[in-house]
Amino acid sequence: MTPSVAVAAVTFDRPRELAVLLDAINSQTAAVRSICLVDSGTVPSKDVADRHANVDYVRSQANLGGAGGFSLAILKAVASGADWIWMMDDD
């Protein structure tokens, strides 16, 4: 059985880089179960996330920083039931 993978990702005001990241994730030869994306930026990136499959978008009300964003994204990824978690940000 192939293990399932969830992506825990963070973004902060980089919509172009986020689109590249999500395109790259969705073009992998092994599909991911879900993408848990935490957005801590001042400009919401939900429109970018909505153009991609399997994105669980979370808009933070405050800038959590990298560590805080990853903490929240990992909690969401674990809740997805995936066997593995792949962490990355949009840069």
User: Hey, which bits of 1-91 come out as E strands?
Assistant: 5-11, 34-39, 55-59, 84-89
Domain ranges of the chain: 5-89
Give the model confidence (pLDDT) of 49-65 as tens digits: 999 988 999 999 889 88
Q: How far apart are CA 86 and CA 56, in angstroms?
A: 14
Its sign, for the CA torsion 53, 55, 59, 65, is negative
CATH 2.60.40 fits domain 5-89: no
Greatest mean pLDDT range, 32-36, 40-44, 61-65: 32-36
